[in-house]
Structure 1
Amino acid sequence: MSNQLQKLAWMTGLSLVLVNFPALAEDNQKPITKISQLSDIEKPATTIQQWLAQSLVQVTGVQLQTTEQGIEVILATNQSDKLQLTNKSEGNSYIVEIPNAQLSLSSGDTFRQEKPTAGISEVIVTNLDANTIRVTVTGESGAPQVELFDGDEGLVFGVVATVSTTQTPPQPEQQPSNETQPEQPSAQNEAPIELVVTGEQDTYRIPEASAATRTDTPIRDIPQSIQVIPKQVLEDQKVIRLTDAIRNVSGIVEGDTFGGTNDNFNLRGFDFISTFRNGLRETGFVLRELANIEQIEVLKGPASVLYGNSEPGGIINLVTKKPLATPYYSADLSVGNYNYYRSTIDLSSPLNTDKSLLYRLNVAYENAGSFRNFVNSERVFFGPVFDLKLGENTNILFDVSYVNDERTMDQGIVAFGRGIADIPTSRFLGEPGDERTVEEVNVGYRLEHRFSDQLTLRNAFRYTSQDTFDYRAQPLAVDEATGELSRNFRSNDDYRETYSLLTDIVGKFKTGSIEHTLLFGFDLARQKSDGSQRRLPGGLTPSINIFNPVYNVIPRPALSELTNVVRDGKSTTDSLGIYLQDQIAFSDKFKLMLGGRFDVVEQDQFDRLSDTRTLQYDEAFTPRIGVVYQPIKPISLYASYSRSFVPNFAQRADGTFLPPERGNQYEVGIKADLNEKFSATLAAYEITRTNIATPDPNDPDGFSIPVGEQRSRGIELDISGEILPGWNIIAAYSYTDATVTKSNDLRVGSRVPKVPEHKASLWTTYQFRQGNLQGLGFGLGLFYLSDRVGGDIPTPEFDDTFTLPSYLRTDAAIYYKRDNWKAAINIENLFGVRYIESFNFGRNTVIPGAPFTIIGSITFEF
């Protein structure tokens, strides 16, 4: 770096300690030795005229990047010689304020990075007010000491952090005799940490994800496709449901949502994709709350090697927000058409002076109507988190969450012939008062102990209880000659408890020149459920005409009148998994991943109706192997093989259960980091699922044999990042060929329902970063699905399919962000196209998409 910033100096206050950093010297950076007094610096403007006369210095980027010695941090600007600085120390934080300057990031006016290196817990760069930037560096054991440099990139800082080590730090250079030396931390147990301020924060591109490896591995080094939806995308799109978030990812579409009351997805042609939160399996049958979610990770392909029984299409991992060492407070209010109201708060701060105890609290309340008649919802979420530092190398995080969700159970409209009935998408075909309520409580902890930089032990536990109840008029069949839709009043009442325990250890070591990252662990889980389904006897529920509906023909029957009990029982499922994974780096260019897992699953089911008990035992070994070759640093070529397993509940004629369904995937791809802010992944795969239950032709009385097979082949492209300063994009395309390849009862070659051959999405935003329009931004989204097969897969004798037509939906946004507030207007389905999202149980539960929807919001951050 050049030495252009000769006039930069600290204003009087806490004196500057200058330290000789060899790494900085190698870059020809020189510390500034002259410290100006307050009288030497031009006074800030005190009138509007003076303020207008002074042009604000624009700092266009802040980014942290790792070096061999530590971390570099640079405030990117070409006007560093005009900057003035004041500095002070508060507790464990060293604070620099830069008047007559403004931070202009594509993400807004704040950059935040937690734990960038040992000894530093947090770095924050933000706009303190309309013309002042504040830089806060917080140490884990005390306030860091800061050294100032300049360079071609902008303003550079060096930091000494108090960390535990046996080394003695270099002695500071001699200060001018007229300056007062600051109080020095104890020389014992300290070492210099190099901190550098450089570039700009990535917002749409996330370089690392934990879902694929359970380690902090860069995505470019993982031989499997994984896509991340960052918090900034969720905020820009005003996403509050997981269904809307996954529109940004290739190969995944909405599945059976049980009347719009839970999340379910089809990924790479396979239904019932498992959802995890921070690596622990989530209990199903609920809409996930995103108020406390930092990012969403979609791992494609079999994931049983780390997560146990799961469908071969992949998994979804939700990463939650963590407590912050620097106070942060945010509030958001959103209002939209169809009587939509939602408010959230996000609070975080230390709870004691030494910042060993931090908290974060996310709260959300939602009350909404719908474009659908008689449909409404109310939702409450409460999620406190506490992070306790037990020592220099040990942290434990406690989290609690509570969700209460009450909403109309809405099963949409119906198919008619091979298409969709020509009726308004707002028409409700249930009965007013159809409902589903969910109350869920999660309590857990995550413990991490670092024996050293090379060895880490982690332990996590979560308890979940979920109480669900529904009562609705279930659609059965429509008479296409008259339009009469038969229905049946029915109700489910279920209670579930889940206990999950995860323990693993991560070790990094070398065998000669070969680097290893070894992961060994096990997980235990128990799920207990107890529930029943009751129905009104046949013929007592009135039908409804889809062309001329009449509601409340009879009063809704009391629950006691639902005397036809079709399900009543309880079950317990215990599972144990042991896994081992080694990530081997033979060189910077060639890397190998090997992994294997052994699972045991035991199920104990008791049916009260038949007074019978059924036991099932399954065990499976699932391997994964993958290679990554990086001919040049930005390019990763990879290939992998992986397997999955799911317990099979079907029985043979002799009463034994079928072996688990197995999934096998072959995948190849290329990942490109086109620059530090923009990346792309292109993948091709083939997945085969075997051991699918099909009827036993020699004993068809409900018995099965494991000869069914489904195959899915596809190509996927995902890109995300910053194209130009202020211009972000996340886009995806996928081609999926999912078909039945073997079966006794289904038509071989049939397409799998719900799966579009083509899916494409584009979301892009642009925000002006300077000039009169600074802070003004725009967003545009395009979401396309080709037609999909509906209903059941056709049999050789009968074709009961219909078609969900293709559609292109256009979304838009306009927002203005200034200082600590942001106002936005988000529009979904700008042109009001009629489209179908998915279907639930078949042709009589077709879910239409919403027409033109507008949401206005205002957000404040402190």
Structure 2
Amino acid sequence: MYRQGESCGPQSAARLTPLYVALLAAWAGLSMPSAYAQTDGDAEEYENEQGDTPVLGRVLVTGEKAIVKKVPVRGGALGPRSDLQTPFSTVSVNSEKIEERQAKTIGKLFEGEAGVEAKGNTYSIQPFSLNVRGLRLDFTNGYKIDGHPFQMYGVELPLEAFETVQLLKGATGFLYGIGSPGGIVNYISKKPTDTPTLSVDVGYTQDSIFSQHVDAGGRFGDEDRFGYRLNAVQERGESYNGTHVERHVESLYLDARINPALTWRGNVLFQERNLEGGITAISVADAGARAYSGTKLPDAISGRKDLTGYDSSYYNSRAWAASTGLEWSLNDTWTLDASYSHTYKRINSRDETLHLRNAAGDYDLALRQFYQPTLQYDSTQLRLDGEFQTGWIRHQVVTGLGLQWHTRDLNQGDPSLNPDTSTGGQNHVYPNGTLPTGNLNGSSLDLAYNGYSPRKFFEISTTRENSVFFSDTLGFGDHWSLLLGLRKFDYRNENYYVSGRRRSVYEEQPTTPTVALLYSPRADTTFYASYVEALEDGGSVGTTYANSGESIAPIESKQYELGFKSNREDWALSAALFRIDRGAGYANASNVYISDGTVRYDGIEINGQYRVLPTLTVSAGGTLLRAKYLEAAEAIKGNKVEAVARVQGNLGLEKSFESIPNLRVHGSLNHSGKQYINALNSREVPAYEVVSVGASYRVPLGQGQVTYRAELDNLFDEEYWLASSNALVVGAPRTLSLNVRYDF
């Protein structure tokens, strides 16, 4: 990992020249006359015969005749099954759409999905932050790589390495274990291909970020016994807000067909993502030394505004994940799967937080030194699934166990900044007892810091989560089925001071049940009703509160959902009516964050797609959500939950042209309603709309195909705030991205 002032990496223009020359030559192919024909085949019609495991998700495909594509829903303890067989709201985005939209972050990936809102932007320090149904996903348990947990805070996983990214909305305690009731995001790695594949692409993003990506896969050996898939990415340059970015990614997936019934797999992913400059957040505190004055918030500023005050600030992350597993087909109906995963993440940072003081935009600037350096996660899973019949009742059974544990280390920080290190490294720079001041509408500050941070680590927490699970989907005739599921936990969390003295310990042994009734009047339509309970790690209190670093007890939640899904030849529609009751967390009058009371989320979400013409598909979605404090301190009881929009909506289209069969265009309009940023409901962020457009064009070149892509996000350069709890993030400005890809 590079240090401040050093070169950002071993990148060499000379080494990149051959790739650029090849793709520039490919670009010249635009001037060549061609009669390139679509290679996409007709969409397979949906089949849902009993005993099959068809795969279907609400994913737009680039082929003109297909509105949906079969995508496996990885339902954790439910095993792989089709979207229509899953009694929860799900969405899958495959690599085709990732590439078509030039998505770099999860927020861009799900921008058109009802009930999903990004709380960070592409090249900010918090690009990973995502709210689903008004609830922020759990950084520690809400994100998975091939079903195994990965701690997401401060990291944006490389979408180039994944075949599909799936979002399962709502409480998922039974399916995946401890996690936020907002949902689970599962990144599914690119697998070896049956036929050789090789593609290279280069990209450009404003203001001066260039990227290169290579994707290769295939099989080799006797009877193609061994398979591989390799992805490598480099990205470097300066973003629209002056933050310098450098990213390196390598991933390799291997498998071996030991015999017709037994397959081994192994996967390793490494990423180093380094940022120079950038603001962690804009804090708007209700109380304490840095309390905000007044209720009106400043007008939003341009996303191009460079707010970095210290040239020496940076936020670097290094992460790797390795897994291995065996899949054994015991017979035609029973399969045993065993897997193990280890992930490691280190954050090395000197980052800045603006403490906003008033509606005029005045702020104090704090510098935080080396926060939360490392977290390691180990996960083991064993799953047995199969089918059998008792009389006229069919059984689809999944059972198994999960063992996972993680440790988190912090750096002591610079002891000269704050002699009380019991807070666990939450240190800020206070020169001469005061903070530097500035204004959002003025020039950026020009500051220097020459302090140090000794690399003295201590273990701040350890968590162990063991569980066993069992589910049985009982089929009654051709139309009805009943899901019964249960997961039993053994959960223990311990937290420590710098000295090693134990600060707190939580131990729970909860049971989280799931019950769902499904009715399928026809093969392409499902109605369902489900009940789920969940438990989530309370985590630790953030740096903007008076009790920063304090651990919070686990939080319980319950979810009730009624849903409908239908996938027809020319249209697809899904809707869900839900209620989530969750333990409440908020800051009291002394700016102390406490866990107390109950929050209720009542909502309805609808997503639909319709092929108006053979060359035109329109999509639309919307969410109406009421989130309020049912039980809490009198000052906030009955108030709306912070950082939750009551109304969200989106409209999108995809268009191809009979006269130019290789050209496709797409566009989207996304609306997010007004929302409060504090539990007192005294400060409100206005609603905003963002329009994005894009296009792709494919032509043959030599023995392969070249694809040109352009994407323009925030077409009208809307200035807006992204709301978080007692904090704001600047919305991304109008941004142009270009990409050229060659498939050999």
Fold in common (TM above 0.5): yes
Aligned mate of 1:793, from 675, 679, 698: 679
Counterpart position of 2:179: 310
Partner SS state of residue 260, structure 1: coil
C-alpha RMSD over aligned residues: 3.4
Are the structure 2 counterparts of residues 781 and 316 from structure 1 closer, same or farther at C-alpha, using a change threshold of 3 Å?
A: same
Confirm whether residue 631 of structure 1 aligns to residue 525 of structure 2: no
Counterpart position of 1:758: 647
Counterpart position of 1:268: 133
**Number of matched residues?**
661
Aligned mate of 1:683, from 566, 573, 576: 576
Instruction: Report how far residue 573 of structure 1 moved.
Output: 1.0
Counterpart position of 2:742: 860
Instruction: Report how far residue 368 of structure 1 moved.
Output: 3.5
Are the structure 2 counterparts of residues 541 and 521 from structure 1 closer, same or farther at C-alpha, using a change threshold of 3 Å?
A: same
Pick which of 478-487 and 756-765 moved more: 478-487
- Look up the equivalent residue of 2:180 and give its one-letter code: E
Confirm whether residue 842 of structure 1 aligns to residue 726 of structure 2: yes
Counterpart position of 1:136: none
Aligned mate of 2:662, from 775, 782, 786: 775
Counterpart position of 2:94: 230
Instruction: Report how far residue 603 of structure 1 moved.
Output: 1.8
- Look up the equivalent residue of 2:731 and give its one-letter code: G
Instruction: Report how far residue 707 of structure 1 moved.
Output: 4.6
Normalized against structure 1, the TM-score is what?
Answer: 0.71
Are the structure 2 counterparts of residues 358 and 342 from structure 1 closer, same or farther at C-alpha, using a change threshold of 3 Å?
A: same
Counterpart position of 1:620: 510
Matches within 5 A, 1:141-160: none
Distance in 1 between residues matched to 2:361 and 2:380, nearest whole Å? 56
Confirm whether residue 608 of structure 1 aligns to residue 498 of structure 2: yes
Partner SS state of residue 738, structure 1: strand
Are the structure 2 counterparts of residues 719 and 552 from structure 1 closer, same or farther at C-alpha, using a change threshold of 3 Å?
A: same
Pick which of 638-647 and 383-392 moved more: 638-647
Contact 2:495 2:551 in 1 (8 A): no
Partner SS state of residue 354, structure 1: helix
Matches within 5 A, 1:398-409: 398-407=266-275, 408-409=277-278
Contact 2:313 2:350 in 1 (8 A): yes
Instruction: Report how far residue 246 of structure 1 moved.
Output: 1.7
Instruction: Report how far residue 61 of structure 1 moved.
Output: 2.2
Matches within 5 A, 1:301-450: 301-372=170-241, 374-407=242-275, 408-411=277-280, 417-421=295-299, 423-431=301-309, 432-450=311-329
Distance in 1 between residues matched to 2:133 and 2:504, nearest whole Å? 33
Partner SS state of residue 630, structure 1: strand
- Look up the equivalent residue of 2:461 and give its one-letter code: S
Instruction: Report how far residue 860 of structure 1 moved.
Output: 1.2
Pick which of 236-245 and 416-425 moved more: 416-425
Partner SS state of residue 535, structure 1: coil
Counterpart position of 1:587: 477
Partner SS state of residue 754, structure 1: coil
Matches within 5 A, 1:209-224: 209-211=73-75, 214-224=78-88
Pick which of 233-242 and 403-412 moved more: 403-412
Instruction: Report how far residue 597 of structure 1 moved.
Output: 0.4
Instruction: Report how far residue 208 of structure 1 moved.
Output: 3.9
Confirm whether residue 509 of structure 1 aligns to residue 388 of structure 2: yes
1:185-243 alpha-carbon deviations (Å, 9 max, x no partner): xxxxxxxxxxxxxxx88464445412365423221122221122233322221112111
Distance in 2 between residues matched to 1:69 and 1:581, nearest whole Å? 18
Contact 1:393 1:449 in 2 (8 A): yes
Partner SS state of residue 469, structure 1: strand
Instruction: Report how far residue 436 of structure 1 moved.
Output: 0.6
Distance in 2 between residues matched to 1:648 and 1:239, nearest whole Å? 31
- Look up the equivalent residue of 1:430 and give its one-letter code: T
Are the structure 2 counterparts of residues 750 and 378 from structure 1 closer, same or farther at C-alpha, using a change threshold of 3 Å?
A: same
Counterpart position of 1:559: 452
Pick which of 412-421 and 242-251 moved more: 412-421
- Look up the equivalent residue of 1:611 and give its one-letter code: R
Are the structure 2 counterparts of residues 618 and 517 from structure 1 closer, same or farther at C-alpha, using a change threshold of 3 Å?
A: same
5+ residue gaps, structure 1, are 1-51, 72-104, 109-199
Contact 2:36 2:699 in 1 (8 A): no
Are the structure 2 counterparts of residues 659 and 691 from structure 1 closer, same or farther at C-alpha, using a change threshold of 3 Å?
A: farther
Counterpart position of 2:530: 640
Instruction: Report how far residue 640 of structure 1 moved.
Output: 0.9
Report 1 or 2 for greater relative contact order, CA contacts < 8 Å, sequence distance ≥ 6.
Answer: 2
Counterpart position of 1:100: none
Higher-Rg member (1/2): 1
Counterpart position of 1:253: 117
Counting aligned pairs with the same residue, the percent is 19
Contact 1:212 1:226 in 2 (8 A): no
Matches within 5 A, 1:458-473: 458-473=337-352
Are the structure 2 counterparts of residues 551 and 207 from structure 1 closer, same or farther at C-alpha, using a change threshold of 3 Å?
A: closer
Confirm whether residue 732 of structure 1 aligns to residue 621 of structure 2: yes
Partner SS state of residue 136, structure 2: coil
1:288-319 alpha-carbon deviations (Å, 9 max, x no partner): 21002222211111100021111112111122
Counterpart position of 2:152: 284
Counterpart position of 2:15: none
Instruction: Report how far residue 413 of structure 1 moved.
Output: 5.8
Counterpart position of 1:575: 465
1:637-678 alpha-carbon deviations (Å, 9 max, x no partner): 111111111245799xxxx99874211111112111222x64
Instruction: Report how far residue 70 of structure 1 moved.
Output: 12
Instruction: Report how far residue 57 of structure 1 moved.
Output: 11
Partner SS state of residue 687, structure 1: strand
Distance in 2 between residues matched to 1:703 and 1:412, nearest whole Å? 18
Distance in 1 between residues matched to 2:214 and 2:306, nearest whole Å? 34
Instruction: Report how far residue 340 of structure 1 moved.
Output: 2.2
Partner SS state of residue 669, structure 1: strand
Counterpart position of 2:566: 672
Distance in 1 between residues matched to 2:593 and 2:637, nearest whole Å? 21
Distance in 1 between residues matched to 2:485 and 2:39, nearest whole Å? 49
Partner SS state of residue 492, structure 1: coil
1:95-136 alpha-carbon deviations (Å, 9 max, x no partner): xxxxxxxxxx9736xxxxxxxxxxxxxxxxxxxxxxxxxxxx
Counterpart position of 1:599: 489
Distance in 1 between residues matched to 2:49 and 2:348, nearest whole Å? 56
Aligned mate of 1:476, from 350, 355, 362: 355
Contact 2:691 2:713 in 1 (8 A): yes
Contact 1:413 1:421 in 2 (8 A): no
Contact 2:474 2:483 in 1 (8 A): yes
